[in-house]
Amino acid sequence: TFNSSKCNSNKNTMQTITVDLASSSEQRSYPIYIGSGILERAELILPHLPQKRVAIVSNTTVAPLYMEKLRIALENHGVTCVPIILPDGEEYKDWETLNKIFDALLKHHCERNTTILALGGGVVGDLTGFAAATYLRGVPFIQIPTTLLAQVDSSVGGKTGINHPLGKNMIGAFYQPRMVMADSVTLNTLSDRELRAGIAEIIKYGLIRDPVFFDWLEQNMMRLLARDPAILNEAIRRSCENKAQIVATDERESGVRALLNLGHTFGHAIENGMGYGVWLHGEAVAAGIVLAAELSRRMKLISETDVVRIRKIFSQAGLPIHAPKLTPENYLQLMTLDKKVDAGRTRFILLNRIGEAVMRADVPRAVLFETLSDCAT
């Protein structure tokens, strides 16, 4: 189950989405607060702290921008803060950096009731969540995402973890936060390129299950790119609602949650094939979704008209719609590295139409090959 509400506070308009994981034995519903300028509203965080003590994990880019604001707000409410500042970059999402978090938590005698706050993008969120899942066998955890991607995707749903030299996100745990706080004002310092990468995942929600949201995005893309606060908040809210509904139905990805991987099998191949960091994840997902749409059309699912709209919205968003020129053999080889490979068969998320995705394990090799040689070479 799931619900969403708007509430007007004296200071800011804020929206609350409740992620309700009622299917599990433990009671683990939690709120996502979305609004402009809510970072300083420590009173939202306070009820979720079992002890007036937190550790705030951030990185060298985000901490100078937002750590003080958050720390002062919390300290004004009598909360003691231990700051933990990590180096910035996907390459630090590893055991060594995780261990630095444990070092700091132990050194400062953080206890079972000390809450760990993740202040940053998806890298900080994933690392911190995994640290919270495993430190003292699990301590309370709060997500304060500061990239668009983290606000609409990685902070919601409870996947946490780190990379292994042999594969991305290969070590981790499902661990749900006590709350998520998405302040869209923090996005004003984000680069245009990172903003667009987040928009790719937003468009994805429209494509897999929310055609009305897709229409709305077509109409409001320019205002979204211009960071119009009302449009940003609405895009974040609709994205979180969609992700929360999927996660509430299928927390551990045994079914519908896999639809969130639309474009990701191709996307991961692109990221891998180009060398990590050359394409941002959202850029690879955009080109990957266009490939998935082309494959869907060749499987006689989606219409040509819909494929045209898909290309158009991604190019409007300034995202790549052409997959890089790797050979089809190269793509096939890179795609077998993907986690969704089940007993040697690659399962694809395809589109029946805009707003409806489907998982298929019956894509003939010839059709896949044809799509790749037509569209990616």
Which tokens in the block code for residue 292?
A: 């998935």
Collapsing DSSP to helix, strand or coil, 11 comes out as coil
At 229, the amino acid letter reads P
**Is 159 annotated in the active site?**
yes
Q: Look at residues 162, 179, 180 and name the one whose alpha carbon lies nearest to residue 171.
A: 162
Compute the distance between CA of residue 165 and CA of residue 212 in angstroms, rounded to an integer: 41
120 binds ligand NAD (CB under 6 A): yes
93 binds ligand NAD (CB under 6 A): yes
Q: Look at residues 310, 359, 321 and name the one whose alpha carbon lies nearest to residue 203.
A: 310
Compute the distance between CA of residue 251 and CA of residue 49 in angstroms, rounded to an integer: 24
The nearer residue to ligand NAD, 67 or 368, going by C-beta atoms, is: 67
Give the DSSP letter string of 118-139. Answer: EEESHHHHHHHHHHHHHGGG--
**Is 196 annotated in the active site?**
no
The nearer residue to ligand NAD, 15 or 239, going by C-beta atoms, is: 239
The one among 42, 128, 153, 334 contacting ligand NAD by CB under 6 A: 153
By DSSP bridging, strand 179-183 and strand 167-174 are: unpaired
**Is 264 annotated in the active site?**
yes
The one among 128, 186, 233, 296 contacting ligand NAD by CB under 6 A: 186
Q: What is the DSSP letter of 295?
A: H
61 binds ligand NAD (CB under 6 A): yes
The one among 33, 35, 44, 59 contacting ligand NAD by CB under 6 A: 59
**Is 137 annotated in the active site?**
yes
Could you tell me how far CA 363 lies from the centroid of its own chain? 27
233 known member of a binding site: no
**Is 322 annotated in the active site?**
no
Query: For residue 281, what are the contacts with CB-CB under 8 A and spacing of at least 6?
Result: 149, 197, 267, 271
The stretch near ligand NAD (CB under 6 A) out of 45-53, 55-63, 75-83, 287-295 is 55-63
The nearer residue to ligand NAD, 127 or 302, going by C-beta atoms, is: 127
Of 41, 209, 281, 298, the active-site residue reads: 281
Least separation in angstroms between residue 340's CB and ligand NAD is 15
By DSSP bridging, strand 141-145 and strand 179-183 are: parallel
The stretch near ligand NAD (CB under 6 A) out of 32-40, 61-69, 220-228, 320-328 is 61-69
Residues that bind ligand NAD (CB under 6 A): 59, 61-62, 65, 88, 90, 93, 120-124, 126, 146-147, 149-150, 153-154, 157, 159, 169, 186, 189-190, 194
- Which residues are tagged catalytic? 137, 159, 201, 243, 253, 257, 261, 264, 268, 281
